[in-house]
Structure 1
């Protein structure tokens, strides 16, 4: 059995184990070789706002947005970062993805991905990792797409630039990515513009773009939205099915612990920039140890992410309409997802 699976950190020369749910800044730091056994291992991760000052100096804010976060993720494993606005969950995810906005930076700690240190990596090296090895699904899926370019152009161009594919090969791979997320008429979708597509098809296009490089890790930000429960359920069901089928690791960022429980094996609850509790979903739901975790459990929304929608009945495919081009995109149940 993989000794990382119990998510304990053993200090060299001792026989005791320190639970991961304790304060991260009190955990001993294992060797690089030990940490490199995981797909992702972050230790002491601290993110703070920074601003330039005179003489080229950088001033760091007194209070970091993320403080001493520690987490480990194995290949194919799923972890949810759950918290309220300002908890640091989004900054943690963006730091791992190399997508922190200007004015925020990792000021301390280490992020190992496949044994490679990400903290301090130059922008060119970060760009190679992002997309190719780490996919990112933003909260604003439509806003992540360029309204002036076709879907094919938006998927194929990065493939050509980063992988050196010619046009036919990039087109074939882009179409395969669209088919993988359940869009049977991928040729029609590929030649469409984002504004031509229904919200559900846009969801699938965004997921296809995030997974087009076959990344080992997908980071997805999915805020709770009770007003659009059905599209949200469709998106979560799709992500869960693809993660199960292709065994990429998943970090899900959400403000609803119910969403986290539907898609992930483990949950890390953040408050004020720190992980206050972390553990398996069943254990955390059965016996929350921190008052903030209990509050998050009490506030969860009553979503249903079952394999079939109650109004459709078992085995009935869902029809997704394309608004402007007089066509329909059909995708079957999650068992029929391709590629």
Structure 2
């Protein structure tokens, strides 16, 4: 079921009751239209209970240029301007602390050697300075820019089911994997190309590594951001764009090794990646709709 297929509530009055399924326990609960809309438009860019992941379960890793979890007390990233000069940068009002970042960097280009996991277990790192993604701060929302660069961490889990959601952008034809979960001959991934991630294009492509590509004819925006998702049970793999399923694949080999952000081998697209979240479950349609609505609001995605 696609998000556009859900019934519209615009015809309802503010006091009409809606029956919704809770993301945390699956129970059905009632809420008025007014209270539901107030929660979805909360000022922190999160759910009615706080930030995006405050009321979401089964998250096993999450990295972002914004704060996703109220209880997280760590930093966002380690900024580097050379092999020997780096500094941890945190958050200000739940967003990347640009004042601290610019104070550290001065007139230098800024790169990221470590992106901290807000769940706390799987920081993504790059020990070679020339392979670090650059952080861009010239737009309204900072971005990590990948161009033959990547970050890696151990995989958070070695079995299915898994769901990975990321916010990305491209500006022209490119090819490669935004996210690769597992080594070269196993696991899953989500990327961009034409038929496969080995051909330049703008279409969203899923990877069932060493088995098959999950090809789509659905292009990513080249003038804005996109929300991409791959989910797998091990026997079926789905890919989504902005909350809507666009292609379905079959079996996936169990992942081993590393979780790679920005691509792998010669499959590294020229792209920006803003956040990535990994779940050790197939998320429900309601959880997906809530996350997508939050991301669209924060990142100004139509």
Q: When the two structures are superposed, what TM-score results if normalisation uses the length of structure 2?
A: 0.30
More strand by share: 2
